């Protein structure tokens, strides 16, 4: 039976194995090239960046650069940074000594303590352990971060013992030195205190650290990543020029460039089981409207565009819409549950906390009014596309005979079925769902057409007894 070779546990065994020491950036470079040549998926789950962000990130990795991911919130900056861990080796060996503060490279030690131990012990006496790639990544959010957290601090206990201030034994190392041979990510760089930025500049420039004016000169091997919002990063005085100059590459992220890409992202990230005892069928036009609300918000003059409208806006709204449809299905005993326009009335609970109004624009609209305007704009945009593509004159004619229709998130689907005893053939042609066969699907289509006719000012609408009523 074939036996798996055990990993080296001493320096002598490590030397015998032929293992080679590499810097973090060289390690990432080599593993990246191997995956690229093999045609492997480089960034699983990243959608819409194939022709924009990914090429720039690939070049930066091959260049061995420290990087800044520059973009508004909800643009997968943190996800991209975390995915770089996959380009590290599965494990790397380190000196397994409890007194060492860092995961020291057995062949390239950087601290005086490690160098002294190697100089006074034979290779077979030097213990080796293995550091998995998942533990070689750390990140920190800038607000509230102190110098001691990132760089380090003088250790008062060691000073009391008479340790000299000029040697590294007097120091307690922060996150960055402890990520020696790993990856460190700092989120929201402009919010970092200027004193800490100076410390980072020194690490990027000289790869050593200075604590309270005492230099500790050793070659820290770490890939440093940053993220920032353009509105704050480009503001004068938020990031010191010397630090900006030392960042090797700036990777510009962006929101989805088209609605289809946004729908794919939401489908991937929503993580909602649409099956189960109360299955949900989501018409494609409802998915389009959810994403178009987000696109409208990113265009709106009433919303602070410097703050951004993240992908989480769409995700939360999609989940709310599905939940409202499923709630109706359970209460009314309907299967399947099919989201309708009236389900969007509940979006205020998921949307209002994720958009910031532009108070400088001088408008007097409340957040709810702004959201209602965004929903109306999204319905109009998607409806006009359906009219242009399919022509919905036959459907409009059904409502041109003085029909009054009440809609609401708790109106039974059978009510809509009674309104349209004869379903125009264009229903099944215009929609990707079979509206003529399923009452719940037909109800969703009817509400979409009614809302679209109202949004394009072809019919009137008013509220009655808590429900909307459409009328020619």
> In percent, how much of the chain has pLDDT > 70?
84
Tell me the C-alpha to C-alpha distance, in Å, between residue 168 and each of 101, 149, 157, 245, 441.
Answer: 10, 17, 14, 28, 70
The predicted pLDDT at position 359 comes to 67
The predicted pLDDT at position 286 comes to 96
Report whether pLDDT(259) > 60. yes
**Mean pLDDT to the nearest integer, 3-17:** 85
Report whether pLDDT(28) > 60. yes
Residue 3 pLDDT level (bands cut at 50, 70, 90): very low
Report whether pLDDT(164) > 60. no
pLDDT digits (tens, 9 = 90+) for 306-328: 888 888 999 999 999 999 999 99
The predicted pLDDT at position 109 comes to 93
Report whether pLDDT(345) > 80. yes
The predicted pLDDT at position 88 comes to 98
Report the distance separating Cα 158 and Cα 469, nearest Å: 77
Residue 423 pLDDT level (bands cut at 50, 70, 90): low
The predicted pLDDT at position 207 comes to 63
**Mean pLDDT to the nearest integer, 384-390:** 81
**Mean pLDDT to the nearest integer, 10-25:** 96
Task: List, in order of start, the domains of the chain with CATH numbers.
Answer: 11-252 (3.40.50.300), 259-471 (no CATH)
Q: Which two three-digit tokens encode residue 148?
A: 């001691």
Report the distance separating Cα 34 and Cα 292, nearest Å: 40
The predicted pLDDT at position 160 comes to 59
Cβ 60 vs Cβ 249: under 8 Å: yes
Range of lowest pLDDT (28-32, 406-410, 416-420, 432-436): 432-436
**Mean pLDDT to the nearest integer, 270-281:** 92
pLDDT digits (tens, 9 = 90+) for 92-114: 999 999 888 899 999 999 888 89
**Mean pLDDT to the nearest integer, 393-417:** 75
The predicted pLDDT at position 68 comes to 97
The predicted pLDDT at position 4 comes to 39
Q: Which two three-digit tokens encode residue 150?
A: 């990132």
Range of lowest pLDDT (197-211, 389-403, 449-463): 389-403
Mean pLDDT, the chain, integer: 87
Residue 379 pLDDT level (bands cut at 50, 70, 90): very high
């Amino acid at each position: 039976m074939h036996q798996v070779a055990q990993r080296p546990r001493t320096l002598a065994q490590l030397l015998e194995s032929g293992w080679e020491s590499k810097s973090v950036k060289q390690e990432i470079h080599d593993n990246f090239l191997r995956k690229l040549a093999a045609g492997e998926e480089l960034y699983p789950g990243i959608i819409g960046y194939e022709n924009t962000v990914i090429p720039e990130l690939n070049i930066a990795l091959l260049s061995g650069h420290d990087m800044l991911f520059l973009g508004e919130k909800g643009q997968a900056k943190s996800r991209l940074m975390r995915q770089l861990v996959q380009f590290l080796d599965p494990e790397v060996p380190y000196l397994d000594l409890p007194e060492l503060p860092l995961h020291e490279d057995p062949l390239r030690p950087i601290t005086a303590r490690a160098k002294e131990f190697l100089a006074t012990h034979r290779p077979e006496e030097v213990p080796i352990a293995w550091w998995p790639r998942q533990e070689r990544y750390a990140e920190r959010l800038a607000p509230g971060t102190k110098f001691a957290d990132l760089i380090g601090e003088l250790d008062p206990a060691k000073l009391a013992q008479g340790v000299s201030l000029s040697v590294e034994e007097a120091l307690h190392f922060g996150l960055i030195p402890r990520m020696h041979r790993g990856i460190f990510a700092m989120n929201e760089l402009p919010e970092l205190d200027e004193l800490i930025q100076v410390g980072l500049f020194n690490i990027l420039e000289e790869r050593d650290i200075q604590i309270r004016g005492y230099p500790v000169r050793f070659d820290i091997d770490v890939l440093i990543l940053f993220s920032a919002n353009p509105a704050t990063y480009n503001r004068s005085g938020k990031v010191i020029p010397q630090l900006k100059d030392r960042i090797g590459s700036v990777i510009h992220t962006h929101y989805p460039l088209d609605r289809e890409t946004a729908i794919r992202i939401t489908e991937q990230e929503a993580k909602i089981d649409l099956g189960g005892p109360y299955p949900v069928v989501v018409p494609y036009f409802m998915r389009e409207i959810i994403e178009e609300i987000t696109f409208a918000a990113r265009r709106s003059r009433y919303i602070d565009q410097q703050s951004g409208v993240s992908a989480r806006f769409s995700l939360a709204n999609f989940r709310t819409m599905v939940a409202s449809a499923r709630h109706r299905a359970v209460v009314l005993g309907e299967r399947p549950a099919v989201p309708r326009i009236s389900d969007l009335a509940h979006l205020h609970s998921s949307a209002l906390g994720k958009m910031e109004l532009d108070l400088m624009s001088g408008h007097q609209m409340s957040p709810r009014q702004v959201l209602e305007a965004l929903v109306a704009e999204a319905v109009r945009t998607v409806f006009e596309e359906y009219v242009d593509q399919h022509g919905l004159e036959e459907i409009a004619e059904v409502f041109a005979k003085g029909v009054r229709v009440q809609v609401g998130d708790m109106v039974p689907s059978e009510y809509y079925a009674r309104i349209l005893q004869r379903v125009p053939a264009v229903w099944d042609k215009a929609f990707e769902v079979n509206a003529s066969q399923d009452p719940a699907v037909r109800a969703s289509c009817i509400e979409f057409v009614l809302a679209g006719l109202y949004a394009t000012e072809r019919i009137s609408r008013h509220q009655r007894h808590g429900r909307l009523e459409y009328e020619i």
